[in-house]
Amino acid sequence: MNNEVVYHLKALRDLGFAVVAFTPEELRGAEPDHVEDRLIEIGWDVIDALATEHPHEPHQMHFDGAHY
């Protein structure tokens, strides 16, 4: 990952976002969109298990026009 990408990922983390990024080599041919969709699904369970606040309404996320 180049320094510019790392800078932006760190900036998001500093703002309180949970950030995960896999390089193309780490994906080993897996479609990035499919990995993202699955990580979002699993991520809600992880958040629910670790959260210190009460859950909000059902989890929904909009990204690039897609609905998660």
Regarding predicted confidence, which is higher, 61 or 1?
1
The answer to whether residues 6 and 22 touch, using CB atoms and an 8 Å cutoff, is: no
User: Quick count: other Cβ atoms within 10 Å of Cβ 8?
Assistant: 12
- 10-14, 22-26, 54-58: least confidently modelled range: 54-58
Structure-block tokens of residue 49: 């298990």
pLDDT of residue 54: 80
Residue-wise pLDDT for 18-45, tens only, equals: 999 999 999 999 999 999 999 999 999 9
Can you give the residue ranges of every domain in the chain?
21-54
Mean pLDDT of 5-14: 96
Q: Is the pTM of this model over 0.85?
A: no
